[in-house]
Amino acid sequence: MKINTAIRHASGIALLGSALLAGQAQAAGESECIAPAKPGGGYDLTCRLAANGLLETGLIDEPMMVTYMPGGIGAVAYNHVNGVRTDDPNLIVAASTGAAVNLALGKFGQYDADEVRWLGALGVDYGAIVVNADSPWQSLDELMADLKDNPGEIAFGAGGTVGSQDWMKAALTAKSGDIDPRDLRYVAFEGGGEALAALLGDHIQVFTGDLSELKSQLDSGKIRVLAALSEERMGGPYAEIPTAAEQGYDVQWPIWRGYYMGPEVSDAAYEEWTQRMQTLAGNDEFAKLREARGLFPMSLFGDDFDNYVKDQVAGFKTLAEEVGLK
């Protein structure tokens, strides 16, 4: 697949805006994190998590520069690293589960998940199946029973279109109950806040959100979380929320916050960054930074993380093919 014209055009604009700063960072040997989006979003948070954590724990001597490179929901940055910054030992790029979904759907042009060196993840959030407190469903089992009988009459909604990771949560949950995801009724919203408002207003019946964004709602008594899409129960305010798995549905949705490096980065540089990230992940002060940003612990680095991402992308490709998205 060739890189489409829009990605080429956006890449050119992004390069004009970032080339000078990037060149200065390379010349000085300073570390840099590319956030593949505008300031203020999840990728910005991911870069700041590394930048602030590494500096505050003394793992880097100089502040890490954060460069913004929006376009194609990560595609512009991915193509930039593979075409221009292939061997930069000082560059890391923010990524997430959303990037894995887009790679599976072929949205990064000619490049696939094998083109970069996946470095590691420093934090994770988890998907959740949420209903209104007045909903008739008290458990995931009850929802799935009704969904199996009338899949088109229960409106799911979230902050993403069909094919997005929020849609994937709904699709995988349905699939775990032997329900064809193509039979789901799904309503796309601009963001999670809008979708949650629709749930509270009874415009949709099920919201596939994230645990961290529900924290402020749990004490309000306005919602009921039927399942956390995590491997095990989370602690603190989430301790009473059962996982989908413990209710008999084999579905997890970790929203990891991680990083990758260029495909030609040396083994020595890759190993140095891997060790640096591992040390950061085990630091108590960093744990406070991570918690303040609404993330749960996740420590997966080097080859283990590289294999994890590639396996995840392969799984998303299979699901996309099953439901006709590819």
pLDDT in tens, 146-179: 999 999 899 999 988 888 888 999 999 999 999 9
Residue 132 backbone dihedrals phi, psi, to 5 degrees: -65, 150
pTM comes to 0.82
- Judge residue 185's burial from the number of C-beta atoms within 10 Å of its C-beta, 0-12 exposed, 13-18 middle, 19 or more buried: middle
Q: Is the pLDDT of residue 198 over 50?
A: yes
**Residue closest to 87 by CA, chosen among 16, 26, 8, 33:** 26
Residues 141, 146, 152, 154: what is their CA dihedral angle, to the nearest 10 degrees?
Answer: -70
Q: Is the pLDDT of residue 7 over 70?
A: no
Structure confidence by residue, pLDDT tens digits, 131-143: 999 999 999 999 9
For 90-135, the DSSP string reads TEEEEEEHHHHHHHHTTTTTT--GGGSEEEEEEEEEEEEEEEETT-
Q: Is the pLDDT of residue 320 over 90?
A: no
For 186-235, the DSSP string reads EEE-SSHHHHHHHHHTTS-SEEEEETGGGHHHHTTTSEEEEEE-SSS---
What is the reported pLDDT for 137? Answer: 97
What is the reported pLDDT for 228? Answer: 97
Average pLDDT on 80-91 reads 96
